[in-house]
Amino acid sequence: MNIKLIAILLSLPLFLFAQENDSEEEVPIPIEEQRNNKIKALLDVVKENKSIYVQKDQVRVKNFLDLVDERESMLAKAKQDLANEKLRNERLEARFEANEKQLAELEESLQIKIGVLGELFGVTRQFAGELLASTEKAVTFSEYPDRGGVLRDIGETQVHSLDQLQNLWISYLDEIVSSGEVKTIDANIIDKNGESITGEIVRYGHFTTTYQNKFVTPVPELNGFELLQRQPEREILKNIRRHQRSDDYRITSIDPTRGFLLSLYLDKPGWIDRIAQGKSIGFIIILIGISGFVFSIYKIYQLREQEQDIIADDARVKIEMENSIKNTTSYESKENILDEFIINYTGKLEWGANWVKFFAAVAPLLGLLGTVIGMIETFQAITLFGTGDPKQMAGGISQALVTTMLGLIVAAPLLGLYTYISQKVSNLSQVLEEKASYLLAQD
């Protein structure tokens, strides 16, 4: 209704203005009369709206009076609820005080009953906790599946019963007996692909477990044993195989640290990883070593063929030497021809020997280069990160040592091959000279 009143008041001037325009055209109305007409019109509007608002107010008052009883009922209910909650609060406070008093009396009674046994119960809880911590990931976890719950119950109890003390005693006896056993048990095996199979494992006391002559480690979370991703040396695995096949006492290999040493094999790099630590220099040294070795084998094979041409009675070289001096009668001319033939053939024999020497010499030099590069990287790591973290320096040191090792490994056999080839060439050259001297002596 307020909106309607505002719209009427806003449209009233427009209406009056339109009437004024009409009156100007027709008959002019005096100002006093116009004012009176406007006031009368406004008064009529107010009276009309007043009657409307009065009717609505009467309806709202009637509705409110009708709801008085309901609100009085709600108020009474709220007061009753408040009184009930106050009574409940008083009861709870009284009960809390009574419980506190009773708890204090029970604690005092407990201390009196415990007496000198308090220390015994404390030691019992301590030993139960220690045994629980040592057996949660032990190799015997699958043989005593209920031990964990029993030990936890003992560790949480203030006053132990005789059965709990006996259970702790039996658990320790089982632990002592199992520490000296070599036992075969059925268990879940988790292979390298993550698949679970059932098989027999051999347990060596509390130290080591094996499956098909390979080491496994306990995984209580998966209720099984997991094969190590990387096994120890073959000789260690052979000891296990011999022990399991034998009916008598034999030496075997175990991990006295209960799995710690075996876990280190997961971080131990293989020979490919070692070579990769040398980076590009290491691979170049290996490439040089392979090239030098292949070339040396080829040169040795070539020398053996040439040896057949020189040493045999019907050797090709001997025939060529005889033909070269066949038409010559002078001793000096024959000697010069044979010397020239020996020099030429010796050159063929010596071809390639210096390349083997080159490969043998350049390998340690490249190793030294890798050492220098590795030390530079180490000093850069020290400059950036300091000496607090050795792992930051490990990469450079590994490159330095690995390249040096590769250089020496390649140089040593190549140097031996070069010595063999040089000696072979010297021997064949000496045989050529002896044959030349024999031909000259015959003439």
pLDDT in tens, 376-391: 877 777 777 766 666 6
Structure confidence at residue 191 as a pLDDT band (50, 70, 90): confident
| 54 in a structural domain | yes
Both 290 and 432 in one domain: the answer is: yes
Q: Is residue 414 part of a domain?
A: yes
Percent of the chain with pLDDT over 90: 5
Whether residues 299 and 425 fall in one domain: yes
Same domain, yes or no, for 147 and 186? no
Residues 422 and 298 in one domain: yes
**Mean pLDDT rounded to a whole number for the chain:** 78
Give the rounded percent of residues in the chain with a pLDDT score beyond 70: 80
Structure confidence at residue 116 (pLDDT): 63
Partners of residue 202 on adjacent β-strands: 184, 210
Is the pLDDT at 6 greater than 60? The verdict is no
Does any domain span residue 92? no
According to the model, what pLDDT value does residue 18 have? 47
Out of 66, 88, 106, pick the residue that ends a domain.
66
Q: Is the pLDDT of residue 270 over 70?
A: no
Which residues does 143 contact at the CB level (< 8 Å), separation at least 6? 178, 185
- Of the residues 249, 268, 287, the one at which a domain ends: 268
Q: Is residue 372 part of a domain?
A: yes
* Beta-bridge mates of residue 219: 224
Is-contact 409 289, C-beta < 8 A? yes
Mean pLDDT, residues 55-77: 76
Does 397 lie in the same domain as 313?
yes
CB 34 within 8 A of CB 18: no
The pLDDT value recorded for residue 368 is 86
Res. 69: pLDDT tops 90: no
Q: Tell me: pLDDT of 96 over 90.
A: yes
In a domain, 83, yes or no: no
In a domain, residue 90? The reply is no
pLDDT of residue 13: 52
Q: Say how many domains are in the chain.
A: 4
Query: Is the pLDDT higher at 279 or at 239?
Result: 239
Q: Model confidence over 112-164: pLDDT tens digits? A: 766 667 778 888 888 888 888 888 778 888 888 888 888 889 888 877 888 88
Q: Does residue 15 have a pLDDT over 60? A: no
pLDDT of residue 208: 85
Whether residues 168 and 226 share a domain: the answer is no
Q: pLDDT tier at 98 (50, 70, 90 boundaries)?
A: very high
Given 268, 298, 321, which residue is the final one in a domain? 268
Residue, of 259 and 213, whose pLDDT is higher: 213
Those residues with Cβ within 8 angstroms of residue 407's Cβ, 6 or more apart along the chain or in another chain? 285, 363, 364, 365, 366, 367, 368, 370
Whether the per-residue pLDDT at 21 is higher than 50: the answer is no
Residues 157 and 196 in one domain: no
Please give the full DSSP string across 98-135, using - where no structure is assigned: HHHHHHHHHHHHHHHHHTTHHHHHHHHHHHHHHHHHHH
Q: Which residues, other chains included, contact 175 with Cβ-Cβ below 8 Å and sequence gap of 6+?
A: 131, 135, 140, 206
CB 175 within 8 A of CB 131: yes
Do 38 and 54 belong to one domain? yes
Taken as a whole, the chain contains a residue count of 443
Structure-block tokens of residue 16: 């009056």
Averaging pLDDT over each range in 22-31, 145-154, 256-265, which range is the top one? 145-154
Tell whether 355 and 394 lie within a shared domain. Answer: yes
Q: Within 10 A of 134 (CB to CB), how many other CB atoms are there?
A: 12
Amino acid at 198: T
Check whether residue 144 and residue 52 sit in a common domain. no
- Do 199 and 304 belong together in one domain? no
Does 17 score more than 50 pLDDT?
A: no
Q: How confident is the model at residue 89 (pLDDT cuts 50, 70, 90)?
A: very high
**Structure token digits, residue 102:** 């009773």
For the segment 77-103, the average pLDDT, to the nearest whole number, is: 91
Question: Could you list the residue range(s) of the whole structural domain that residue 240 is in?
Answer: 180-268
Answer whether residue 419 is part of any domain: yes
pLDDT at 189 over 90: no
Cα distances (angstroms) measured from residue 98 to each of 93, 105, 294, 371, 418: 9, 11, 97, 82, 102
DSSP 139-204: TTTTT-TTHHHHHHHHHH-SS--HHHHHHHHHHHHHHHHHTT-EEEEEEEEE-TTS-EEEEEEEEE
Instruction: Give pLDDT, residue 388.
Output: 64
Shared domain for 361 and 223, answered yes or no, is: no
Identify whether 95 is part of a domain: no
> Residue 23: which pLDDT band, with cuts at 50, 70 and 90?
very low
Categorise residue 259: left if φ over 0, alpha if ψ from -120 to 50, beta otherwise.
Answer: left
